[in-house]
Structure 1
């Protein structure tokens, strides 16, 4: 797992202002050259795609044509921190994507769905009366450290040039290779069966939906993800992020100055 080094951050600062300008503390001093390059933290709303956020910000700059990209996709049913890069900072997207991520969310035990979340309907149900809090807590160590994980069939990974979810939605079999990811922290914050709340710190490429499904399997049961929020990417916290319309209105008002 690669982290952005202090040296890299100093390099970023020399190119375009202090890294601290990525957060909401920009209030009152929003004089930035977005075409040259900025990094913005956005709190992605529920049911928005990551590209919805990018498109909304890109449109706010019109008629100017400014390059805008995001550093790490969030599923539509997830919410939370999304790093938006503009101008030359789009070249740094890979650096931001490589940062560790922190998530909070909820597993629902006793059922599975084809997408491993609430995008699809429950396909199998299980009895959970035998599952105790102790069983749940004892399962956590199996998912700490470097683990093998297979992405959901309903994912944006490409198979022969086609998104996996497109094949899955047609009812076709989807075969994806397992890959190694790292989970450095995993804690259960609430148990109210069938719901289990959690907090996870993990490496790039980790699918929390797959973690939910695998967690259920380890309990010899089923589980799917019912809620997910990304709270941190590297050093950047969702607490310092913009609400999307707040940011869009700020950009539009800045253009009028």
Structure 2
């Protein structure tokens, strides 16, 4: 939810006291790229800046960035349920479970029908154990899994308990299916794509992802990061 805005369309920010900024993360930006862009725009103020809930570089959508004293609320924000929309591509798998890596296995999808696909969705609603992708930021022995994966190391992954509150297909046009998911903190949609393919005795990877909501906060209320940082710099230049 955006605050009341002035004639320029922005609230009267108080970054030192703390701001909660809703950002629409651009494609191919890391979550840390967004944080660094905002931190640099705020210089020379030496403020804490952090984000609640990492998005992969190939994902877009809602990223909550906190400044100042509101960084203390990050853990609570991260714990809120999330909503995503996106696309699974059936008939193939990739090592990263998304488009970061190329397909390494292919499957025939000609026998799949809408009833099968929708029935499989229901298997994933509820509490389940999910393995994180080998190409993920999860730490094992103090090192990110993706760093080990890039060296070709095999790591024994441990499952995590996550909850899927809603999982529906919004468009079926094989080999692609569009989806909407509402889930708990820590859910990997890439892993959901991979597991969805396995449940069909087929393959699937995540080809598009957008976070639309986190708790009560919606991407429709989010700022464009470049427009926001330009506005922050203009405030410094005018002495506001």
Query: Which TM bucket (shorter chain)?
Result: over 0.9
Distance 1:60 1:226 in 2: 32
Distance 2:128 2:221 in 1: 31
2:56 to 75, 79, 84: 75
Q: Any conservation in 1 of the 2:4–2:11 contact (CA below 8 Å)? A: no
Secondary structure at the counterpart of residue 131 of structure 1: coil
Secondary structure at the counterpart of residue 167 of structure 1: helix
Secondary structure at the counterpart of residue 172 of structure 1: coil
Distance 1:240 1:195 in 2: 29
Report what 2:5 is aligned to.
26
The CA RMSD measured in Å over matched residues stands at: 1.1
Q: Any conservation in 1 of the 2:25–2:225 contact (CA below 8 Å)? A: yes
Deviation at 1:176, TM superposition (A): 1.4
1:160 to 128, 141, 156: 141
Q: Any conservation in 1 of the 2:96–2:133 contact (CA below 8 Å)? A: yes
Aligned: 1:195 with 2:176: yes
Report what 1:133 is aligned to.
114
**For 1:1-257, what aligned pairs fall within 5 Å after superposition?**
20=1, 23=2, 25-28=4-7, 30-255=11-236, 256=238, 257=240
Distance 1:197 1:176 in 2: 28
Distance 1:27 1:129 in 2: 55
Q: Any conservation in 1 of the 2:38–2:229 contact (CA below 8 Å)? A: yes
Deviation at 1:25, TM superposition (A): 4.5
- Structure 1 unaligned spans of 5+: 1-19
- Is the alpha carbon distance of 1:34 and 1:217 closer, same or farther for their aligned partners in structure 2, counting shifts above 3 Å? same
Report what 1:7 is aligned to.
none
Q: TM-score, normalised by structure 2?
A: 0.96
Number of residue pairs matched? Answer: 236
Secondary structure at the counterpart of residue 168 of structure 2: strand
Report what 1:13 is aligned to.
none
Q: Any conservation in 1 of the 2:3–2:11 contact (CA below 8 Å)? A: no
Deviation at 1:254, TM superposition (A): 1.9
Distance 2:179 2:6 in 1: 33
Distance 2:226 2:211 in 1: 19
Q: Any conservation in 1 of the 2:6–2:12 contact (CA below 8 Å)? A: no
Deviation at 1:66, TM superposition (A): 1.5
- Is the alpha carbon distance of 1:27 and 1:106 closer, same or farther for their aligned partners in structure 2, counting shifts above 3 Å? farther
Distance 2:3 2:70 in 1: 18
Deviation at 1:62, TM superposition (A): 1.1
Q: Any conservation in 2 of the 1:24–1:240 contact (CA below 8 Å)? A: no
